[in-house]
Amino acid sequence: MAEWFQDNGLLLGLALLDGLSSAGLIFLVAVGLNLVFGVLRIVNVAHGSLYAIGAYSAASIGIFAGSLGLPDWASIPALFLSAALVGAVLGPLIERFLLRRIYAQEEVVQLLVTFALFMILEDVQKLVWGVQPIENRVAMQLLGNTDVPFGADFIPYTNYQLFLLPGVAIVTLVGLAWFLRRTLTGRVIVAVTTDREAASAMGIDAAKIYLLTFTFGAMLAALGGALSSPTAALVPGIGAQTIVLSFAVVATAGLGRIEGAALTSLMMGLGRSIAVYFEPELEVVVPYIIMVLVLLVRPQGLFGVAETRRV
């Protein structure tokens, strides 16, 4: 064991650091999907497109800011600005003019409609940004690197991935938990999630809650995409990869479990990252192996609660 660690210690350290960074991005998208599904009861496949549009928008705004001669530090607030714009513009449009018309439809119809929207938005991305890779790494380069001690060695790692990505995920986790449990609006959202009929009977405007929740979920998806944009070149298809992984996180954690989504994102981020360094052939399948193993033991998810079916 000591000999293996001596030979592979640096690779393991890199895998752990990459896993933490990846888990932060996965959590941002998955928690938004979990929130939307918990309130609206719609499996929103188009959530992945909001992630991709957030990424492309962030890169475009950053490049535009650079062309105007703005300082490099402006690229960091541009990431959050792009996520807010994407969520505030597309979220209400999608909820008001599309999803609101299919709430009463069967689940398969809802799934097909959101999948159709996903395909439309995928083509819109190609029309707007083309199919060539786009990248803007200014924010990551700006923050520099840190030598992370690991055993007897040091691993140079970007501060952007080491501090900013996990930091935003932690702030989102704590802030969302506080919002849902300590504020009136958050408690109303929880009430609608728990029993929408009873909440409506008490005078809660479910339509406004649906709109607010979907818009916030769209912002979280776009934020995940925006924060991922400085770490890799953007190519068509990134939304599809992300939404499938987010579904796996939500199913494994259990519906409505924010802390569970965080822990599950960490498990899957670390699992996939370790596979990349030691068994690259298993990179894609590792998160779903985790999901299957969990659901075989707990069909309601790690932190989910079994619901009594209404007859």
- pLDDT tens for each residue of 64-106: 998 999 999 999 999 999 999 999 999 999 999 999 999 888 8
Arithmetic mean of pLDDT, 134-155: 89
Residue 287 burial by Cβ neighbours in a 10 Å radius (0-12, 13-18, 19+) = buried
For residue 157, give the 3-state DSSP assignment. strand
Domain region containing 292:
15-144+155-297
Residue 302 lies in a domain: no
Nearest to 21, CA basis, from 143, 178, 177, 176: 143
Residue 220 lies in a domain: yes
Residue 42 lies in a domain: yes
Residue 233 lies in a domain: yes
Q: Which residue has the higher pLDDT, 129 or 8?
A: 129
Residue 58 lies in a domain: yes
For residue 153, give the 3-state DSSP assignment. strand
Residue 309 has a pLDDT of 46
What sections of the chain are H helices per DSSP? Answer: 2-40, 47-67, 75-97, 107-129, 138-143, 159, 165-182, 184-194, 196-201, 206-228, 238-253, 258-278, 286-297
Arithmetic mean of pLDDT, 181-190: 90
Residue 243 lies in a domain: yes
Residue 310 has a pLDDT of 43
Q: How many CB atoms lie within 10 A of CB 304?
A: 18
Q: How far is CA 57 from the centre of its chain?
A: 16
- Cβ proximity of 110 and 102 under 8 Å: yes
pLDDT at residue 264 tops 90: yes
Running DSSP on this structure, what letter comes out for residue 131? S
pTM: 0.94
205-261 pLDDT, tens digit each: 888 999 999 999 999 999 999 999 999 899 999 999 899 999 999 989 887 678 889
Could you tell me which residues are beta bridge partners of residue 155?
148
pLDDT at residue 44 tops 50: yes
94: domain CATH number is 1.10.3470
pLDDT at residue 311 tops 60: no
Into how many domains does the chain fold?
A: 1
Residue 70 lies in a domain: yes
Nearest to 91, CA basis, from 46, 132, 56, 126: 46
Residue 155 has a pLDDT of 87
Residue 5 lies in a domain: no
